[in-house]
Amino acid sequence: MCLILFALNNHPGYKLILAANRDEFFDRPTAPADFWQENKHVLGGRDLLSGGTWLGIRDDGRFIAITNFRDSNYKKTFARSRGELSKSYLLEYDSANTFLDKTSRHRMQYSGFNLLLSDDCFRTMIHYSNITDKINVIKNGTHGLSNALLDTPWPKVKTGQKNLQNLITSSLIKTSNLIELLKNKAPAPDDQLPDTGIPFELEQKLSPVFISMKGYGTRCSTALLVDHENTAIMHEVTYNEKGEKISEKSIAMQLKC
């Protein structure tokens, strides 16, 4: 997952409004969003290589999403899979703080990552990165997370936050509106590109909200709405290497909060 835009307790009808793009190599085996076989209380897509997920929710109100931290200084050759973190959190029963305490003790075994977590049906959310090793309670409002720390003003984050805020203040919220917001393929201006230690040409190609490259790009877009009656709706669209839609589904879950 390389871009997560979300409004937390910032709308009269919803606790959470989230729109996220997962960017990944197209040859990495993946299962689309569904209830997990080993625990039907968990909903999310699945990385079939590591068994983890980039974004998932459990019907007791537990939620996690993960992004990589893009900096060549923090890349480890023999790192553990970051996907195992999301898998463990969704399948086990530790609180968010207990889980992060355990994660912190092993943080150097992973390449850089960000986590977004909730264990109380989105009354609160937490951001944690092994880069800073800090647990931050997220303020209510509209936020963006890409491959740097929360609300780092990369062009795609700033554009996404602005468009999400405009959407939630001007129209009835639909998951289809959120999916549409994630289709922006416009690259960032050269003078606004971050410097993450990769070649400049690659930095350009990775700068849009929706990435389309040979072999790598936006694999799926996910919208998640959670209302004040604790009904969650996850809407996922998956894409091929050409950026063409290949599947779409919407799944409802009633949270037991």
Give the type of residue at 189. P
Cα torsion angle, 147, 54, 90, 64, sign? positive
97-131 residue pLDDT tens: 999 999 999 999 999 999 999 999 999 999 999 99
Report how far residue 218's alpha carbon sits from residue 106's, in angstroms, rounded to the nearest whole number: 29
Please say whether the structural domain 3-254 has been given the CATH code 3.40.50.620.
no
Helix (H, G, I), strand (E, B) or coil at 201: helix
Domain boundaries, the chain: 3-254
Contact (CB, 8 A) for 61 and 230 = yes
159-208 residue pLDDT tens: 999 999 999 987 779 999 999 999 999 999 999 999 998 999 999 999 99
43-87 residue pLDDT tens: 999 999 888 999 999 999 999 999 999 976 666 656 788 889 999
What pLDDT score does 80 carry?
84
Query: Would you place residue 18 in the very low, low, confident or very high pLDDT band (cuts 50, 70, 90)?
Result: very high
Tokens coding 30:
């993946």
Cα torsion angle, 166, 252, 23, 94, sign? positive
